């Protein structure tokens, strides 16, 4: 019997990385996953692991394996690269916990091994020419390497795909922080081991091995013919049209009105479209995963009448959804300035995603006066969760449940929402403690926090609203620089430790920032005193500047933060 041109195998994605080298062809696209893709993968894995699921299916992966050549990845590099990033950050966490043997085991088994011919350390997965150097230096380099350069690890990415790799690494790092935060310190290694074993054995993929590009193309063609690789947007559209019976033209018109509205948001319209349909579904059905959406719709929307009713309601609601991205949308004409300011803050400054189904439900169903209070509350919730941590999948679940409460009219007022979330939202005491030790790596968030606190100090009635400013006009300055002048008399490790601490950050006009640079604290004091920001010129009152002063300032800011992002309002 002749050997098949196609070999199929089910295995854990970690097991595939263990096997040996894989490479991304030079002509294949660069790393493309956005924040939401990485976050969805982490959340799904977390739910599978904490739910003691035997398996989580990651889909099909196609490898081209010519004789005596390194297999190339024809389909699946985004999942493989992201899994590799996750394993690299788990390795680093083992090292931080002083479990060097565990860190080296993860590194050797899944990330890098020694090439016997060159005796050099080589990655198990090689990305394309645009990404590979950055991937090796930023993602795969280990703090345990003799040649490890922290400055290279922290260097700014320049290419868009490199920036996406950096964002994925940062998101995963923060996720591991949140994952371990509620767990006793002595149990951290066991939790990480559980994740590694799940990735190796239970995060399963179907590996299809072909001999050449023609074989890979035929696999893609076959999967497309069978609907397995069609986008979820196409699957939903085709299902709705198939159920619309004699009213197909009407269904097509309403579907087109939805897609036209969603296209105005830019990005990948297919992803946006599916997300909109899911968020609309959540407002009446509660928590729903992307992978569950099509099945739930098919179970419930079974005929012509239900199909047309769903499409009609979704097309009428779509402008309420699109309005969440712009405070200048016509939707907000009859709402207060405060509501529009909250929309602007959430969309432009906080850029949070998980709360969007709840925003959507409130925009659709709350009276304007209640919407104003709810949206201000959402700003405070978002900041508190950004600082305190989102606690795994809790936020998605609770926001979706509240969206369902609003969408089904069980909750009609902001105070009812506040009461329903009281158990989950960090209290003033929890928020203050978290803020006092918070490290903020996203400049846009640091700028927002500082400006909002400054407005509280100046007794602004709505301090959490910050009007947009050009980043090149108002810049973020680190008082103690990353590479301090010898006059600072500060060890390099201390300087590095302060770079994400909000207490070490100030706002300056661009020309003032240029003048400050890496100058000594005494020289910087002169610049800081001239700032129009109270929160900046108060730093000049300190006699010296080091870790103790930074912590003191951040503790004082934490007390102001409670008032800035308050949970109270007039009922």
Q: pLDDT digit string (tens) for 257-287?
A: 999 999 889 766 568 899 999 999 999 999 9
pLDDT (average), residues 334-346: 95
The whole-number pLDDT of residue 564 equals: 97
Longest CA span, the chain: 85
Q: Please answer whether residues 131 and 28 qualify as being in contact, where contact means their C-beta atoms are separated by less than 8 angstroms.
A: no
Which has more confidence, 239 or 173? 173
Contacts with 107 (C-beta within 8 Å, 6 or more apart), sequence order = 91, 142, 144
For residue 227, what pLDDT is reported? 46
Range list of β-strands (E), 13-85: 22-23, 56-64, 72-75
- Arithmetic mean of pLDDT over the chain: 88
Instruction: Name, of 15-24, 60-69, 146-155, the range with top average pLDDT.
Output: 15-24
The pLDDT, as a whole number, for residue 229 is 46
pLDDT category, 222, cuts 50, 70, 90? low
Most confident of the ranges 240-244, 417-421, 460-464:
417-421
Q: Quick check: 513 pLDDT over 60?
A: no
Read off the pLDDT of each residue in 447-467 and give the average, rounded to a whole number: 91
**pLDDT tens figures, 57-91:** 988 888 988 887 888 888 888 999 999 999 999 99
Provide the pLDDT for residue 283. Answer: 98
Structure tokens at 289: 């995963």
Q: Which residue has the higher pLDDT, 106 or 224?
A: 106
Place of tokens 């991205």: 325
Task: Give the model's pLDDT for residue 324.
Answer: 97
226, pLDDT greater than 70: no
Say if pTM beats, i.e. exceeds, 0.75: no
Phi/psi for 478 (5° steps) reads -95, 120
Q: Higher model confidence: residue 54 or residue 443?
A: 443
- Cα separation, 169 vs 149, in Å, equals 17
Residue 139: exposure state from Cβ atoms within 10 A (0-12, 13-18, ≥19)? buried
Residues 342-398 pLDDT 10s: 999 999 999 999 999 999 999 999 999 999 999 999 999 999 999 998 665 789 999
3-state secondary structure of 384: helix
Answer whether residue 522 shows pLDDT above 60. yes
* pLDDT(556) > 70: yes
Q: How many Cα neighbours within 13 Å face the side chain of 492?
A: 4
Pairwise CA distance, residues 168 & 81, whole Å: 10
CB 360 within 8 A of CB 279: yes
- What is the separation of C-alpha 92 from the centre of its chain, rounded to a whole number of angstroms? 20
End-to-end CA distance of the chain: 78
β-partners of residue 474 are: 509
Pairing assessment for the beta strands 56-64 and 203-210 based on DSSP bridges? parallel
d(CA 363, CA 372): 10
- Name the E strands within 266-411: none
> In angstroms, what CA-CA distances link 166 with 33, 140, 170, 401, 497?
11, 12, 6, 32, 19
Reference 453, options 558, 555, 322; nearest CA is 558
Inform me whether the pLDDT recorded for 4 exceeds 60.
no
Convert the pLDDT of each residue in 166-192 to its tens digit: 999 999 999 999 999 999 999 999 999
């Amino acid at each position: 019997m002749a050997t098949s041109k196609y070999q199929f195998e089910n295995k854990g994605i970690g097991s595939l990385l263990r096997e040996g080298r894989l490479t991304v062809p030079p002509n294949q696209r660069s790393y493309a996953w956005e924040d939401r893709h990485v976050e969805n993968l982490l959340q799904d894995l977390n739910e599978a692991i904490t739910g003691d699921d035997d398996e989580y299916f990651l889909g099909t992966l196609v490898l081209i394996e010519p004789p005596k050549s390194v297999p190339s990845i024809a389909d699946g590099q985004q999942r493989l690269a992201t899994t590799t990033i996750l394993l690299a950050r788990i390795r680093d966490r083992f090292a931080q916990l002083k479990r060097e043997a565990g860190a080296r085991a993860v590194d050797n088994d899944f990330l890098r091994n020694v090439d016997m011919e060159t005796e050099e350390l080589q990655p198990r997965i090689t990305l394309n020419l645009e990404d590979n150097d950055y991937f090796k230096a930023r993602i795969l380099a280990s703090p345990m390497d003799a040649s490890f350069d922290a400055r290279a690890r922290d260097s700014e990415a320049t290419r868009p795909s490199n920036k996406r790799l950096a964002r994925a690494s940062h998101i995963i790092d923060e996720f591991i922080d949140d994952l371990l935060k509620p767990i006793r310190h002595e149990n951290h290694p066991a939790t990480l081991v559980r994740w590694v074993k799940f990735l190796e054995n239970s995060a399963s993929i179907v590996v299809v091995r072909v001999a050449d590009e023609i074989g890979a193309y035929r696999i893609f063609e076959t999967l497309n013919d069978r609907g397995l690789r069609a986008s979820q947007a196409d699957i939903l559209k085709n299902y709705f049209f198939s159920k619309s019976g004699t009213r197909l033209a009407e269904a097509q018109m309403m579907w087109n009105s939805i897609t036209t509205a969603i296209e105005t948001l830019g990005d990948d319209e297919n992803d946006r479209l599916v997300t909109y349909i899911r968020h609309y579904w959540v407002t009446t059905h509660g928590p729903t995963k992307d992978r569950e959406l099509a099945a739930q719709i098919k179970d419930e929307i079974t005929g012509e009448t239900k199909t047309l009713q769903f499409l009609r309601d979704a097309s009428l609601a779509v402008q309420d959804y699109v309005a969440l991205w712009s405070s200048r949308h016509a939707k907000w004409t009859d709402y207060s300035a405060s509501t529009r300011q909250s929309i602007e803050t959430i969309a432009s400054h906080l850029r949070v995603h998980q709360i969007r189904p709840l925003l959507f439900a409130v925009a659709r169903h709350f009276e304007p006066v209640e919407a104003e209070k709810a949206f201000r509350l959402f700003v405070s919730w978002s900041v508190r969760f950004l600082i305190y941590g989102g606690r795994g999948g809790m936020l998605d679940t609770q926001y979706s449940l509240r969206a369902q409460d609003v969408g089904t009219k069980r909750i009609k007022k902001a105070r009812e929402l506040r009461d329903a979330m009281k158990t989950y939202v960090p209290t003033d005491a929890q928020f203050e403690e978290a803020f006092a030790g918070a490290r903020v790596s996203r400049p846009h968030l640091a700028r927002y926090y500082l400006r909002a606190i400054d407005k509280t100090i100046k007794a602004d009635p709505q301090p959490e609203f910050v009007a947009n400013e050009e980043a090149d006009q108002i810049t973020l300055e680190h008082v103690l620089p990353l590479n301090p002048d010898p006059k600072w008399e500060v060890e390099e490790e201390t300087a590095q430790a302060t770079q994400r601490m909000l207490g070490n950050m100030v706002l300056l006009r661009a020309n003032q920032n240029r003048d400050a640079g890496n100058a000594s604290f005494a020289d910087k004091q002169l610049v800081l005193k001239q700032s129009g920001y109270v929160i900046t010129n108060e730093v000049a009152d300190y006699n010296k500047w080091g870790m103790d002063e930074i912590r003191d300032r951040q503790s004082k800011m934490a007390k102001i933060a409670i008032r800035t992002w308050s949970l109270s309002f007039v009922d």
